[in-house]
Amino acid sequence: DIQMTQSPSSLSASIGDRVTITCRASQYIDTYLNWYQQEPGKAPKVLIYAASSLQSGVPSRFSGSGSGTEFTLTISSLQAEDFATYYCQQSYTTPLTFGPGTKVEIK
Amino acid sequence: QVQLQQSGPGLVKTSQTLSLTCSVSGGSTSSAAYYWNWIRQHPGKGLEWLGRIYFSGATNYNPSLKSRVAISLDTSKNQFSLKLTSVTAADTAVYFCARDRAGGLDAWGQGTLVTVSS
């Protein structure tokens, strides 16, 4: 199985801050990397697919980059509704695997 | 706008079979563009992919579940189902169905908390 890791596991930030989350794959996955946002008690929502493509309807303050084994999700200016947990997921091969998550909290 | 609606019991007895169904509206399970997935989330934990099915009936499963999991498709009802056999307390989780369009899991069911108890 491809193991996904994320850093940090949690962070505290203020409204308006720039936030970057890193995701690493245990082996090469090209750009088969997706990012999700999950609010408590809700299903995850895809933000970025194929490493850098913005899902329709997702605000442009979210962006993704990377290829191979290292990827980043950036929120350019954190908004109140962005406080949530973020997961990366590889879709290069089955079993599909997710990172452990990064919880973004209010400072 | 595709919608996925989950149904099934929230309580299953130890050693029995967990069964959930995901009904799709606003989209077709007969489409070659998508895979139909099941994912679960243990309380307070991360996401675990269980398996998926394609319109052809082809399936992929997480080896960690060995032979306990089965996903089936009923295109006439536009729904797909999960069966997990021989459940234990370790299978207590929120179960989600989701659509995969080879660009991420872009539509999700509402989630079903399934508790396994004797």
pLDDT at residue B118 in the model: 87
Interface test with A, best of B34, B47, B48, B113 (most A CBs within 10 A): B47
| Number of CB pairs, chain A paired with chain B, less than 8 A apart | 60
* Predicted confidence band of residue A42 (pLDDT cuts 50, 70, 90): very high
What does the pLDDT read at residue A93? Answer: 96
Instruction: Please give the mean pLDDT across all residues of chain B.
Output: 96
Q: Which residues of chain B have pLDDT under 70?
A: none
Query: At A106, is the pLDDT very low, low, confident or very high (cuts 50, 70, 90)?
Result: confident
With CB atoms and an 8 Å threshold, state whether A96 touches B49.
yes
Q: What's chain A's average pLDDT?
A: 97
Q: CB distance from A20 to chain B under 8 Å? A: no
Nearest CA in chain A to B43: A41
- pLDDT at position A18 over 90: yes
Neighbours of A77 (CB within 10 A): 12
- What pLDDT sits at residue B102? 76
Measure the CA angle with vertex B97, ends B93 and B101; round to 5°: 140
Smallest Cβ–Cβ distance between A94 and the set B48, B60, B109 belongs to B60
A48-60 mean pLDDT: 97
Supply the DSSP string of chain B, one letter for each residue.
--EEEEE--SEEETTS-EEEEEEEESS-TT-TT-EEEEEEE-TTS-EEEEEEEETTS-EEE-GGGTTSEEEEEETTTTEEEEEE-S--GGG-EEEEEEEE-SSSEEEE---EEEEEE-
Q: Is the pLDDT of residue A15 over 80?
A: yes
Q: Under the phi-then-psi rule, with left for phi > 0, alpha for psi from -120 to 50, and beta for the rest, what region is A69? A: alpha
